[in-house]
Amino acid sequence: MAAAPFTDDRARWNNRAMYRVLKYLLWLFFKVWNRVSIEGVENIPRGACVWAPNHRSYIDTPLQAAIPARLRFMGKDSMWNNRFFGWLFTTIGSFPVSRGTSDRAALSTALNVLMSSEDPVVAFPEGERKDGPRVHSLFDGAAYLASKAQVPIVPVGIGGTAAAMPRGAKMIYPKRIHVIIGKPMQPPALTETGRVSRKEVKNTTELLREEIQNLFDRAQIKVGRPNLRNTED
């Protein structure tokens, strides 16, 4: 029994060491193959935060290896059925969420991770992948998590991933990718009784959508793919 703490510490050290190796390999791949560039690194806050990027491609998740911070991701628990992949996903910072559970259960899991570590938790506020230049209405999950944990929200614009790996593609094309990290936004204020305010969450979600759209537009221009949207959007 006395050896357990040492074993746990060793496992954590091994996980972090492997994470650094995988992160470096992914960063090297995207740097060489997609000439990925990052803007706004100085905006990354110290400690926990909610990381909120737009979502246009499957590679938006592994691309986060280019960010100089350890990000945490939710994943379907079925991904842990395979021992190797389960170990791999855990090592790179993912955590399982039961498939078919309610959004509230998933948010609860993410909140526990957010409040028990100093790592940013990724919440793609558009939900699943979207197509086109317009950032559509966002889910309230990112703002809710930020309010509940009272941590900042970091809006992120990712340009070029839809061209690098479009919907239906089986490979990653050597298209340029640019990521812009926006300035942290304050979390929605709590009520006088310390509860999450639905009104404040809604207001913050709309401001977040506008900021992500701005960053997404700028990132697309940077890679030579300006977003062409109707003026009403």
What does the mean pLDDT of the chain come to? 87
Higher pLDDT, 107 or 124: 124
10 Å Cβ neighbour count for 91?
16
The whole-angstrom separation of Cα 16 and Cα 11 is 9
Name 161's Cβ contacts closer than 8 Å, sequence gap at least 6.
Answer: 56, 57, 59, 60, 63, 177
Residue 103 scores a pLDDT above 90:
no
CA distance linking residue 154 with residue 120, whole number of Å: 9
Superfamily of domain 32-222: Glycerol-3-phosphate (1)-acyltransferase (3.40.1130.10)
Tokens of 165: 């790996």
Strands 50-53 and 37-39: unpaired
pLDDT in tens, 117-168: 888 999 899 988 899 999 989 999 999 999 999 999 999 999 999 999 999 9
Instruction: Label residue 86 by pLDDT band (50, 70, 90).
Output: confident
**What are the residues whose beta carbons fall under 8 Å from the beta carbon of 160, sequence distance 6 or more?**
34, 175, 176, 177, 178, 219, 220, 223, 225
In this structure, what is the dihedral angle of CA atoms 88, 92, 95, 99, given to the nearest 10 degrees? -60
Contact 121, 180 (CB under 8 A): no
Taking only the tens place, the pLDDT of each residue in 28-55 is: 999 999 999 999 999 999 999 999 999 9
Query: Do residues 212 and 218 lie in contact, with contact meaning Cβ atoms separated by under 8 Å?
Result: no
